Structure 1
């Protein structure tokens, strides 16, 4: 993004949350995906820890570092110029470490920072074998996050429903709001009725995770909104489609030794150059290279 003044991304995201209707937020797993999401009309983006881990060739169990995440966030925000909700897993440590996590990610341009109440090493929210920290311990993390942030919104994710049931997930949601979270994210609810029950009990601004191949049924952003969820993320959708397309292309290339049969499914050179504003960069380069 070459134009424009410095942006207050948290303020922009808050404005989108206050706007009527659902806020559908796709996962942007790298700057190019972020550009494409902006190009088709999305107003905000989500940076998934699972997608980031997969892009690094590692599982989603909290292996990547804060420095790696911060640089990736900075690149996505720079490219897109859109508010970005950042998945910071369990926050990279105890409350004192949360201070650095929140400051670093907000400095990188994050509009919202998501922290979850799992025990490290964490697990994908839709798999078995998860454990969560005591609610009181996670409250201290959230208080530290609320203290550290300047403007960024704090998203509190709870994985407790799958372990302790709906009553505990509701209790935690209310505690987390009271501790300073702006948005509550109940992970891996399994029916529309569960989503409705949770929303009615907790209130506030709620986020629903519409991931694929998990425990949550496939609902549209409008359907989630009707159940009480303002923000609906699609964290890994684009990456999964891109990964499958890449695999299919490589299989054909390996089998046939030519890419000729793939051309109609490729982004063209012209389309790529338009997306990344190639002509703008060359024009600016020419302007300042003139002798």
Structure 2
């Protein structure tokens, strides 16, 4: 059983912070989280684009490959709507498997989609999403690759409709269910009571969901939780603050105590291991 499937079956909630780049994924592993998440919203934002379905399968798969390459943790990725029709969803699964990802989620919005915590979303009919999922499951070559169905029905059709959709998606072969934009602990609990497969919670900030702790979600019976945009928001706030300071004062001298040191960066990048491996060919000194 893969690390992702084993974690979902462990009885302990799996915490998957979003990695906006491979370096963040290395830090997620070092700190001791159970997995890494690659957010479609973050991939879009790093390209300077809104999260409305503008990224391509190639762009998303390549970012997933870059992140999976640097960590031993399972990497779970946002595959939007599968980037087209059911055949596109099938190809998406094949490419993500080849890129070293451990699983992905596909959602039931129309294409182009919208960020899950925005209003004005539109859903495909249940039958269309079932075809999307069946194509994805049928294309899977690695039985350990986890296919998750995300439903955005809570904000469009209501909680009961989201539950009905989730049950249909389980029947279509989904291994994991992700219900976007549940609002309260009571809604999370109601969903857990109604759906008998592993469940994923989204604890994104500044959205529609009450921010529940990992412990609270575990007690409610959830198997995994993502923090999709947290690292990007932390980084961009710090970057903007620093750039405005330089613009105002002409120097970064007052920002040094807020920066990662060179030695810490080199430690995270494991310069010494590269140096030892390459010592017979080229040597360099690591210093602050």
Residue 7 of structure 2: aligned partner: 16
Counterpart-to-counterpart distance in 2, 1:43 and 1:207: 14
Residue 286 of structure 2: aligned partner: none
Residue 274 of structure 1: aligned partner: 267
Q: Identify if the C-alpha distance between structure 1 residues 115 and 16 changes in structure 2 by more than 3 Å, giving closer, same or farther.
A: same
The alpha-carbon deviation at position 85 of structure 1 amounts to: 0.7
After TM superposition, the score normalised by the length of structure 2 is 0.95
Provide the secondary structure at the position in 2 that maps to 1:100.
helix
Residue 155 of structure 2: aligned partner: 162
The alpha-carbon deviation at position 247 of structure 1 amounts to: 0.4
Residue 245 of structure 1: aligned partner: 238
The alpha-carbon deviation at position 279 of structure 1 amounts to: 1.7
The alpha-carbon deviation at position 264 of structure 1 amounts to: 0.7
The alpha-carbon deviation at position 42 of structure 1 amounts to: 1.1
How many matched pairs?
A: 281
> Gaps spanning 5+ residues in structure 1: where?
1-9
Residue 48 of structure 2: aligned partner: 57
Provide the secondary structure at the position in 2 that maps to 1:286.
coil
Query: Is residue 192 of structure 1 aligned with residue 180 of structure 2?
Result: no
Task: Report the more deviating stretch, 13-22 or 205-214.
Answer: 13-22
The alpha-carbon deviation at position 11 of structure 1 amounts to: 0.7
CA deviation map 1:152-205 (0-9, x unaligned):
100100001111111110111001011010000011011111111111011210
Counterpart-to-counterpart distance in 1, 2:62 and 2:139: 19
After TM superposition, the score normalised by the length of structure 1 is 0.94
Residue 257 of structure 2: aligned partner: 264
> Gaps spanning 5+ residues in structure 2: where?
284-288
The alpha-carbon deviation at position 283 of structure 1 amounts to: 2.4
CA deviation map 1:96-149 (0-9, x unaligned):
111210000111011011100001111111110000000111001111111111
Residue 227 of structure 2: aligned partner: 234
Higher helix share: 1
Q: Following superposition of structure 1 onto structure 2, how do residues 7-156 of structure 1 map, counting pairs within 5 Å? A: 11-149=2-140, 150-151=142-143, 152-156=145-149
